[in-house]
Amino acid sequence: MGRLLLVGNSRWHWAERAAAGQPEGLRCWHEPGPPPAPQGWSDLEGWAAVGAVPDGLGLPPQRRLGLERVPLAEMPPWLGLDRALAGWQAWRRQGQGVLVADAGTCLSLTWVDGRGRFRGGRLSAGLGLQLNSLGVATAALPELPPGAGAMDRVDPLETWPKATAAAMVQGCLRACAASISQAWGDLSPGDPCALWLTGGDGPRLMPLLQAGGLAPQLAPDLCLEALAALVDPQGVPDPQLS
């Protein structure tokens, strides 16, 4: 079983193909950083990076997938690789236009039309960045610890919390959900489109979006799915998908 790796801004995202005789699919997991003592990358089929790659890890350059390998039409050369991967994979699975909300370190909104063309998007601070900024830039508000913690103790549908930490989480959650809802409402009505939700904070945003009348397709590992589709099991980018 070979592994796939996406180096993110705040976490490393891994996938492993199913072994022979097991149900098809990917086993995906996420870690805060690189392995403490990498022992080589012989089982790494392919990898891509959005965030910084630490020096000295020895990741094989010949197995790196760049933006030019993602067959998303009309994308600019500066487009983030994660946005290209998620947008292309959602469009590929949906079979029509998609708006992909990637709720990670950054909240990215990417519109791909029914012909598989990149049409634009929006970028803002993700949930964790918003909370961190509140704690750092104000004297009276606490710095909430990274990771789940306070966020998982807050009911996303609690409208008016009294506790300060809960009020911070609720405000930032609703800001992210409102950005997605606004973007969905701003799409061109003539092109059938579906809303897809991915990224680590996707499950936290799902109840709010559903309460607002939206029906996103939750797919937490879209980027890894795209990477698996674009890299064949021998570790070579698949030219048939170009």
Per-residue pLDDT tens digits for 174-219: 999 999 999 999 997 778 899 999 999 999 999 999 999 999 999 9
Q: Which two tokens stand for residue 53?
A: 């790659």
Q: In whole angstroms, what is the distance from residue 26 CA to residue 45 CA? A: 13
Q: How confident is the model at residue 242 (pLDDT cuts 50, 70, 90)?
A: very low
Percentage of the chain surpassing pLDDT 90? 63
Instruction: Report phi then psi at 154, rounded to 5.
Output: -105, 130
Asked whether the beta carbons of 8 and 105 are under 8 A apart, the reply is: yes
pLDDT of amino acid 1: 62
pLDDT of amino acid 237: 55
Q: Which domains does the chain have, with CATH numbers?
A: 3-67+225-241 (no CATH), 70-223 (3.30.420.40)
Which residues neighbour 18 within 8 Å (Cβ) at sequence distance 6 or greater?
Answer: 1, 24, 25, 26, 27
- Of 68-72, 113-117, 154-158, minimum mean pLDDT range: 154-158
Q: In whole angstroms, what is the distance from residue 177 CA to residue 160 CA? A: 16
Terminal CA-to-CA distance of the chain, rounded, Å?
24
Q: In whole angstroms, what is the distance from residue 32 CA to residue 216 CA? A: 27
Which residues neighbour 2 within 8 Å (Cβ) at sequence distance 6 or greater?
Answer: 16, 17, 43, 44, 45, 233, 235
pLDDT of amino acid 39: 66
pLDDT of amino acid 34: 81
Which residues are designated catalytic? Answer: 82
Query: How high does pLDDT run on average in the chain?
Result: 88
Q: In whole angstroms, what is the distance from residue 230 CA to residue 88 CA? A: 11
Q: In whole angstroms, what is the distance from residue 177 CA to residue 107 CA? A: 10
Residue 240, helix vs strand vs coil:
helix
